[in-house]
Structure 1
């Protein structure tokens, strides 16, 4: 099969289209013919070995241990192991594979545990379904599990135009929140179109200093110090970190421990948990139209390096998707 192989750590130039052995599913796995995958920050970090400790866990000191990147997947079941109960040949499925599995989805085929996937929603395309798992579940678990989101709350999404942010705006609206989206001027109309009640152009207004207070803030980037976010929170508000530099994530984790001891404000760092139940929840939101994936662009598998160049140089609007030419 064809696959994008990460030959060593470095720029997108290290990504090469190669012929590799087609995988064979184990007894509890399914073999998926991939129709689409999508790029996430974790893929960029693995390619770049950024931060450096990725070379130690989970990756391979001198070169990547898992040479095929990609976690999001949407495709069709080609065959199943003898113990698989949930799926059969021909089922359209979507899901994601954690990097610890050693399986990558920038390829024509991949094997997956049956609990890592679920049936693809009926209406969205394979490309739209592939955009959902990592970013959508990060937003869902950040808002619901860490943020304890409730109807009527004032929720702010910082970085609302990116992969996690576009899902977070829509999921927060699905939970009945009043949503403020923070993004650049070129994305304000897009943020309104996906349901934001209020929009803030961060180049013209600093939401941490305008006097507004929010019950829940989810930050999909790290543009502000933690103290700024806490200033914009209500006295018993929750700040959830879903992106940013490793230093900022570490600082947020330390701040969370201090806050839990010192006062009512809470700070959490979201670490994505694989959950078939949450995939099914996202599937229902997609089928009812409460969530519509925002896709910045689609690139064929052979142009994956070009897709990564775009991903790392441009603030992508939503997700960047990789498609299989043979699909």
Structure 2
């Protein structure tokens, strides 16, 4: 396979909403100069993530120099194995971490990327590129949050706030894969979707404050893990968690998001978590945040669950490469159930 010198890639040219700052360029250099341990991948499909448009809207130019190529998840084919354990033609999938992205300004909305071998694995033939591209970042966040941060064990109870989000949807499936009892939240219109993923119990968050509903209907035994996947929209879920989170239980969050919370609420959370002693009324439960790391063994375990039929890739919609701005419009509605995927190679399945 011949490798061109230039490629098409979407680049963020300024700070702002994707529809206003993204530009499709046709003369972007292909990153053919590879470091040791890197390969060149021809991208077949990429997936959008909330972090993608939030970086566009929030980070000033002195933090993230522009123009840059957005996004993190990819599925593709190795075209320059660069002396690694991979061979040209190997189908792979994985993600570029945020720190790596910040360093290189190279994301996955491009026809070619250079990727360290620590950031991807071989893709099984029975997982098409458009499905595989939506797995790594969301599924690994769910996997690491549940099993490496919260240390969830078989047959325990877990509460997942945001069961219809990409991370929450994978979290439901992963918890069920080891035999846990799962309660998940979403809006009422997504109840069927959340239950189809395996949730045993459902809570409609639109009907009132979650902490009140849980306190009034506390399970027996109480939850061993609460996994907050929607970005601390309701900080009271933690600060009142003694009523429904078991002693020794863990409250795990994907972290604060720049939409959907109030500064006073975050201040109260920080006080309760880090400053107020438990003997002075601090919340007597452990709060932790998950920050996804590039662990190939984790993606291999997730892939095993997929091939065994215990976890399924979650695709909300697939857009052509020329329709990236429209795809961002979809993910920014917060109504997508599953991943919004970009078909970078028009021939990809």
Q: TM-score, normalised by structure 2?
A: 0.84
Distance change in 2, residues 1:229/1:128 (3 Å): farther
1:233 aligns with 2:245: yes
Distance between the aligned counterparts of 1:109 and 1:249, measured in 2?
Answer: 40
Instruction: Identify the residue that residue 302 of structure 1 maps to in structure 2.
Output: 322
Distance between the aligned counterparts of 2:45 and 2:277, measured in 1?
Answer: 42
Instruction: Identify the residue that residue 22 of structure 1 maps to in structure 2.
Output: 30
Count of matched residue pairs: 317
Instruction: Identify the residue that residue 17 of structure 2 maps to in structure 1.
Output: 11
- CA RMSD, Structure 1 to Structure 2 (Å): 2.2
Distance change in 2, residues 1:146/1:9 (3 Å): same
Q: Which moved more, 1:209-218 or 1:139-148?
A: 209-218
Q: Deviations over 1:137-187 (max 9, x none)?
A: 110111001111011111011001011010010011112210011001111
1:278 aligns with 2:289: no
Structure 1, unaligned runs of 5 or more = none
**Structure with larger Rg:** 2
Determine if contact 1:91/1:119 at 8 Å carries over to the other structure: yes
Distance change in 2, residues 1:62/1:233 (3 Å): closer
Structure 2, unaligned runs of 5 or more = 1-6
1:48 aligns with 2:49: no
Determine if contact 1:4/1:17 at 8 Å carries over to the other structure: yes
Q: Deviations over 1:101-158 (max 9, x none)?
A: 2221001110101111101133221111111111111101110011110111110110
Instruction: Identify the residue that residue 225 of structure 2 maps to in structure 1.
Output: 216
Distance between the aligned counterparts of 1:112 and 1:34, measured in 2?
Answer: 11
Instruction: Identify the residue that residue 68 of structure 1 maps to in structure 2.
Output: 69
Q: Mapping of 1:1-327 within 5 angstroms?
A: 1-12=7-18, 13-19=20-26, 20-24=28-32, 25-49=34-58, 54-55=59-60, 60-61=61-62, 64-65=65-66, 67-82=68-83, 84-85=84-85, 87-101=86-100, 102=104, 103-204=106-207, 206-209=209-212, 210-212=216-218, 213-221=222-230, 222-225=232-235, 226-245=238-257, 255-257=272-274, 265-327=285-347
Q: Which moved more, 1:152-161 or 1:95-104?
A: 95-104
Stretches (4+) displaced over 3 A? 62-66, 228-231, 246-264
Determine if contact 1:117/1:276 at 8 Å carries over to the other structure: yes
Distance between the aligned counterparts of 1:261 and 1:145, measured in 2?
Answer: 25
Determine if contact 2:17/2:53 at 8 Å carries over to the other structure: no
